[in-house]
Structure 1
């Protein structure tokens, strides 16, 4: 037996190794193939990565657009509430549909499906948008839940939704001209909504501080209950007297707060397209009109405050006045000498013109300026019209202005000026936001004396309780109502026409301590029935009475029947 040593075995293995590798691949070749495979894998990964990067790039654009758009449309607005906390305007969430046109697989299928569930979409416009290859195109804003569900169920690639804030006005038309409206991007267009944007809200939105954030509600001075009453009664009057338009205002004489304001025809801010219709304009602050005989209130106050006329004076109204080729007459002339109270309650144009002449043309211009009737009235609403003044403020112009012709102002200006005659002589700027009496007094300007204010309250009350007064149909037992009528003929083709009038009744209550001014204006009212006149005493005055009867208890003014039934002593 032969034994192989460890050394010999090692030598045999060493000698066999070259023979075993003779028919095999060299180690260098193996390494080369490994490197090639690795490079191939790397190349594939790079290709995949490049493709993914390209896909990511195509997705990033619409995603960034979506984020930007979402941030813009999610900007919140504060709730608007009335003085008692009732919601007037609030934000609600709604869905809007958009498309990434580059992801649309079949444009025809998308157009057919979308127009089927959203029939108001224009197929041609929709097709152009989907063929645009744009990363983000709006298809329809503010979908109803049913519409959003129907679009979702189509399952169309490239069609998606964004959630945005939509403004909702629970009261509809009730306070449309006060709260205003917003556009589809929730930006204020009119009314208080526009004021908030201009005042501070737009800056906060631009800085991104309002995105999906709950803000403190903004309280208005308006009382929604009284607002409903005013709109309801003015709407009834417009229908009953077949008028083409109407205005109603309730103003706090001590604070200047606008408690209610309605202008008909009005609009529903939930349907923003209505706000653009001219017929639905805000006539209370955005329209100027000749107010007619209610202007006699300012002429009488001017004359009494000047000291050149006393309430015991008289003026000859026996015959018309000829001036500048014009003849000034009385509608229902008494053709005799009239005391100052009689000039007022019988609404004598002749007596009023002579009262103005006793005071002076320059004094009239200055006095009306002090009352804010010759300049644009500033309120929080953007709809504030400037008055129309005579091109030449001469004696003839001054005489016609004395009884409300030849000068056009807004109904709100008229109410604000009258509040000064009722509250002791202080002109207080109006506001649609809450204000205390102390805050109002800090802004007030004394424009007439307390004695003149007291005299005007007496004349206003006299015009309602006197049998010959034009305001007797405004009387509400227990509320001591006073006021002045105005029946202004309208102008057509440069001439006054007798069959078209703008009637108004300017009132306050209770007259022993006035708290509120109430103004109603009816445009072209017709007689309630054949044979009756269509004067302000027949239509505007009873409308004011109806408003006071319903609204006074809401305003905390309690009736006092014992005082209201006492006769007023008249002394000339």
Structure 2
């Protein structure tokens, strides 16, 4: 029951005593409020406790987050949006001995939020000072044209990053990047190719190959499952460096426009070294030539060893001799017509400088003296159809299968028709154009006993298997003929004591765009194998427009140009590849007496 605030039992006596009855009401009201407070106090205390706990948790969370942010590296916020993840990790590339040819390096990219910039004009000026290739006026215009975002530089050095930091503009921001690094500079540049960025974001960028093996095996190098497994190439870094050094020196001394060199293991098809000159640095890959009058070979990006498709001249003659022996038409000592000039229809086949080696030469002498007429007669015995089939088995009708993105586009130039005159000219290396890589693979087939092995830039683990293109006997006799070219014939400057070099020279006039051939411009090739008694390697050197000016008259043949360059390569790389020189017996006249 409710207690009245003005009970009559107390009010009436109070009035009779002259007291104020309102005091009774006030007293009762205070007692009622006190009772209510006592009743509600536990509930209020509980609510205050819960509120205090909530505020405490909130402040604790904020404090922990602030501490975490203060201790971490500053990064830009990431927009939450659906999309494929950018995979930047890329596998390393090593040579056959595990030495790094290509690896990854962490760096930064520079981008801008122009609307957040405090001083666009001043920042543009200072950025142009840091990066001389940037134009301050153009940069300022882009900063002030209303855009929200723009890239400034895709890759920064640590020094450049620090310099941009010192500008202090909040609109200039950095994003992490993983870039490709080629620590050996220009070494093996045409093998590696280069890289660029694909899909890009402010926090990462996709690293993709643009040329060479980087592009040819791009999927393998970008496979996340194999990111920690380096790609092992067949290249030997030490041999590669030596080959490039000798090739460069030879081009300079012989005033050549360029050149190429290949060292190939005849048993496995492994490319131990592949060089093309002029070269470039894949860390700073130049821009391709796009002018109307520019020749592809004028660019240092052009891989002459693979992309260069040339008439390779007399280096082809050994194929005619080998096929003739394989078919049983001739033997090494079989005499053939070599009387020059040879008239075939309206065509006249001549020897170099109008010589005449006839009337007869043995097949061995045809190769040693490099007789066009003798080779032509052997080719006519073989016939067009059989000649085509043999050259096709040696890989001359298809692009080389080597793991370079440029290789599929370097298809040999095959005559559309193949009459007997084409059979003749093809036998001595005119009319059919192929790359030095084609020729190296074909010579490896002769050197390894008659089995065609595919050239490869990937390290192999054992001998390769291939199709037999000639008998072991014919292959051995062919190598013996090639050895005679060095000891008795046109490649005498290729003799390297202790290494039994065998090979064949090839001097081909350069064709004109308008038709016909230049009189004073040649492509020279020397294709060699060593050691002849047990062939292990092919060494091939091709030079574009070389000329030897050391004599009284300019000399442009391969015997004076490509041959000495190849000989110097063999002299220097043979010990690097573990090949011991054969010890020649000492004659009695060579003995000298010495006294203590």
TM interval, shorter chain, is 0.7 to 0.9
**2-side partners of 1:532 and 1:367: how far apart?**
37
1:285–1:255 Cα change, 3 Å? same
Are positions 1:475 and 2:517 aligned together? Answer: no
| Contact 1:425–1:449 (CA under 8 A) maintained in structure 2 | yes
Are positions 1:495 and 2:521 aligned together? Answer: no
Task: Spell out the pairing of 1:528-567 with structure 2 (5 A cutoff).
Answer: 528-529=549-550, 530-531=552-553, 533-562=555-584
Q: How many residues align?
A: 508
1:425–1:65 Cα change, 3 Å? farther
In the other structure, the counterpart of 2:391 is: 368
Are positions 1:107 and 2:120 aligned together? Answer: yes
Are positions 1:312 and 2:325 aligned together? Answer: no
**2-side partners of 1:136 and 1:68: how far apart?**
20
TM-score by length of 1: 0.83
**1-side partners of 2:426 and 2:156: how far apart?**
54
> Could you report, residue by residue, the CA deviation over 1:464-517 in whole angstroms, capped at 9, with x for unpaired residues?
112xx1111111111111010001111123112221111111100001110000
> Residue 314 of structure 2: which of 283, 287, 293 is its match?
293
> Could you report, residue by residue, the CA deviation over 1:186-223 in whole angstroms, capped at 9, with x for unpaired residues?
310111111221x434564xxxx79xxx6222111000
**2-side partners of 1:473 and 1:98: how far apart?**
59
> How far is the alpha carbon of 1:106 from its aligned partner?
3.7
| Contact 2:91–2:222 (CA under 8 A) maintained in structure 1 | no
| Contact 1:315–1:355 (CA under 8 A) maintained in structure 2 | yes
In the other structure, the counterpart of 2:228 is: 215
| Contact 2:340–2:357 (CA under 8 A) maintained in structure 1 | no
In the other structure, the counterpart of 2:30 is: none
Task: Spell out the pairing of 1:89-108 with structure 2 (5 A cutoff).
Answer: 89-108=102-121
**2-side partners of 1:497 and 1:145: how far apart?**
52
| Contact 1:478–1:561 (CA under 8 A) maintained in structure 2 | yes
Task: Spell out the pairing of 1:519-530 with structure 2 (5 A cutoff).
Answer: 519-529=540-550, 530=552
Task: Spell out the pairing of 1:51-450 with structure 2 (5 A cutoff).
Answer: 63-64=77-78, 72=86, 75-185=88-198, 186-197=207-218, 199-202=219-222, 204=224, 215-273=228-286, 278=296, 279-280=299-300, 281-331=302-352, 332-384=355-407, 385-438=410-463, 440-441=464-465, 444-450=466-472
**1-side partners of 2:267 and 2:389: how far apart?**
24
User: Secondary structure at 2:310's aligned position in 1?
Assistant: coil
User: Secondary structure at 2:286's aligned position in 1?
Assistant: helix
> How far is the alpha carbon of 1:391 from its aligned partner?
1.9
> Could you report, residue by residue, the CA deviation over 1:382-425 in whole angstroms, capped at 9, with x for unpaired residues?
11100001121111111000000000001000000110011110
1:172–1:275 Cα change, 3 Å? farther
**1-side partners of 2:522 and 2:435: how far apart?**
16
In the other structure, the counterpart of 2:60 is: none
**2-side partners of 1:295 and 1:564: how far apart?**
37
> How far is the alpha carbon of 1:272 from its aligned partner?
1.3
Decide which moves more: 81-90 or 413-422: 81-90
Q: Which runs of 5+ in 2 are unaligned?
A: 1-8, 28-75, 199-206, 291-295, 588-596
**2-side partners of 1:167 and 1:564: how far apart?**
55
| Contact 2:89–2:222 (CA under 8 A) maintained in structure 1 | no
User: Secondary structure at 1:63's aligned position in 2?
Assistant: coil
**2-side partners of 1:291 and 1:515: how far apart?**
23
| Contact 1:309–1:358 (CA under 8 A) maintained in structure 2 | no
1:348–1:120 Cα change, 3 Å? same
**1-side partners of 2:346 and 2:532: how far apart?**
41
Are positions 1:486 and 2:499 aligned together? Answer: no
**2-side partners of 1:294 and 1:68: how far apart?**
60
Q: Which runs of 5+ in 1 are unaligned?
A: 18-61, 566-572
1:67–1:456 Cα change, 3 Å? farther
| Contact 1:464–1:474 (CA under 8 A) maintained in structure 2 | yes
| Contact 2:221–2:231 (CA under 8 A) maintained in structure 1 | no
| Contact 1:478–1:563 (CA under 8 A) maintained in structure 2 | no
**1-side partners of 2:584 and 2:83: how far apart?**
66
TM-score by length of 2: 0.80
1:10–1:459 Cα change, 3 Å? farther
**2-side partners of 1:107 and 1:68: how far apart?**
33
Root-mean-square deviation over aligned CA pairs: 2.8
| Contact 1:111–1:123 (CA under 8 A) maintained in structure 2 | yes
User: Secondary structure at 2:519's aligned position in 1?
Assistant: strand
> How far is the alpha carbon of 1:120 from its aligned partner?
2.4
